[in-house]
Structure 1
Amino acid sequence: MKLFVAFVSCLFCAASAAVTKLNWFQRAVGKVGDRKPDRPKGPAPADVSQGKQSVCDPVSWRFPDPPPEEAPRFPPDLELKVPPAAESVAVICGANSIRVEAKKDLPGIGKLVRPEAVTLGDCPATGEDEEAQVLVFESELHRCGSQLLMSEDSFTYAFTLHYNPSPLEGSPIIRTAGAAVRIGCRYQRKQVVSSASLKHNWMPFSATKASEESLHFSLRLMTDDWRSPRPSSQFQLGDVMRFEVAVKPFHHAPLRVMVDRCVATVVPNVDTVPRYTFLGHNGCLFDSRLTGSSSRFLQRSQDNKLQFELDSFRFQQDDRGVIYITCSLRATPAADATVDGASKACSFSNGWREASGRHGACACCDTHCGTGSPVPPARTRARWDQETAVGPVVVEEKRLRGGQLAQKSHNNGHRTNQAVEILPTWLS
């Protein structure tokens, strides 16, 4: 037992000694690690004060001047060339039309323009000459945005040829500028127009005077007594429509008026259907011949007036009963007026009858009327033509008025009167 106690005591003492040596070693290592290395000692730095360095003298350096430019030296005979205007447009003026030919190199720079970029007013090109590289425009004088300009001795139809370039494909640029070329066709207001060759014939004073004056043609509905214009243009079937044609000169040259043709339509346009030509062949009133009506010319009392009567009518397929009467009127100097196949007023009543009594002039009404007898070479026949219309004229169907009829009958041997009412109805 004593031996065991002694062994434990020795073991405890050895452990205590080992712990003590370990603590000493750790303290010694810590002191060595905390020691800083020695630095060499040098002289202490001088006391230097810092501040902004100031410049005492201005800087004398400068950028060098550019060398002087020499004036350009041109030859003494040098002339700047002005590019001439491109002659790209040609115009041909007709009696009632215009033809414009524009080169596809319109700007004159060797670049062809696209046809859709060139227009005459609002009209595109009507043709193209591929060989000559020319665009062709053809139009009537009153179309394609033309303007009529009047002066004392002439009138001009003015057009504009537009070139509106668009950006090149795939880019926002153009290489030609837009242009507008003014084009005009000028005509004399006073001249002789004829398909025949010109002849220097003496013209009587009456024809010369008539050519200087203004004429006023009229086509009017008249009252039953022919004294004044009819205040209403409404009729019923069975009524007679009375028309008076007149020409009013504003000077003293007497004129004679004629009716060459008259057409009835449902709208104010003679080229529409349905239409009824009841007067034609230079003065033949066909209505009395075709329908057996009482339509007729009245005997002429004045050269500048002509009257005719026309039985009222309607178009079968028009329920409105509206008609327009359009007549072609003509005036000639009374001194030169003749009654022939080309100038007459014929009605049919047991044969053709002329209003002035020269019935032989009506021989062509059933066939075809020519131009009449030739004019003597020493005289020139002047004439003025105008198309005049009246309407709308309303023709209603005839209405039977309501009333009573006394009808006799027998009832048980006694006579009685019975009222029979006629209901209003329309005659169709």
Structure 2
Amino acid sequence: MELGARLVSVLLLWALQDGDWATSKALSWATQSPAPGSSFSPPPVVAVQCEDDRLVVSVNRDFFGTGRLVQAAELTLGPSACAPVPAEPLSKRVVFEVGLHECGSELQMTPDSLIYSTVLHYAPNLSQSPLVLRSSPVSVPIQCQYPRRDNVSSRGIQPTWVPFHSTLSREQRLKFSLRLMADDWSTERTSSAFQLGDLIHIQADVYTGYHVPLRLFVDSCTATLTPDPASVPYHVVIDFNGCLVDGQSRDSSSIFISPRPGQNVLRFLVDSFRFAQDSRNEIYITCHLKVTATDQAPSPLNKACSYNSTADEWLPVEGPRDICSCCQTGTCISLSSSRKRSLADQEPGNPSEFEADLMLGPLVLSEAENGPKSGQGNNVGGIPKWPELLLGLTVGIAATVCLLLGLIIGSHKFGSPCSRNV
């Protein structure tokens, strides 16, 4: 039996505001059982059919069981107040047909079920008799519950639960993050200040929640002097869909860390640097992150490759080495070539929920203090200057000689050769 043919759990709870007689009577009518021996069962006031990707709500216009028919305009569905399907004026039922995630419906996930919840609202129209209220507003909560696991046949068909992965991705967006980490990767770094020569430890990760297992990649990273990633000057750190090109720079040790601590985590090191032609000491690093399913093999478009200067070759964090060959030639399809590219320009089939642009900064860079600063007479780093060192040695030797002479002639009535006459 197809999933769409099932009528799953529908909760009809009436929210009574004034508790008037008509509403109470409608509630008792809607819940009462047929009389003993009677084969007639009155149709429900509100009937819900839960299909694969939508729900159909049918409402009896004799809403309170009093014979007074409510108007279609007095009924709306969901927080977005969706209107019913147009129907004949003499029709006895009002029908809503909406997608599961439309009209402001909410998705709740349990280990075994996906539960879509919405509310049917009735609000009496006061335009004809604004001073007299003959019925109360009513809200009817509605739920459609779908199993997250189901049995399927062994035939080559798509499992019935596959469409719900994309629905889940839309309802609960992935949480991407880009963080500065301590040198041992155990905690997040508390300072964004670095000296030239320091290694910047960067960790990218994504919280997947109830999604299928996902693998994270860093497509591109660009360093700039301002928060605008399209500003000039700029320095490309990662390019060509995951090539850490900064590692090709002379004296650079920038690499991806392998193996990953998890498929949803990617770590890499970047040598600290400053822009040579600019006196500003703050930089911003903007990276484009994306995810793929873990059962999708790494490829030239989905990779994490580091340059090994000793062997003059590119090595991937995972996957065959040939996926990094385009890093050497620069023939990969680069997502960072156009640095003004925004998430609104995603290609079809790559929804923005699975990609994100994140920024680190400002990172404060300063030059390492390796020696005395010009124009200063004070010592640098606690190392004494040579004249001071020689003076100290001379004083020490003189004191030692005086002490020895004092011991030798101490028994005579001569003053110490190192003492002053008073």
For this structure pair, what is the TM-score category when the shorter chain's length is used for normalisation? 0.3 to 0.5
Richer in strand (by share): 1
Determine which structure has greater relative contact order: mean sequence separation of CA pairs < 8 Å that are 6+ residues apart, divided by chain length.
Answer: 2
Per the normalisation by structure 2, the TM-score is: 0.44
> Which is higher, the Rg of structure 1 or of structure 2?
1
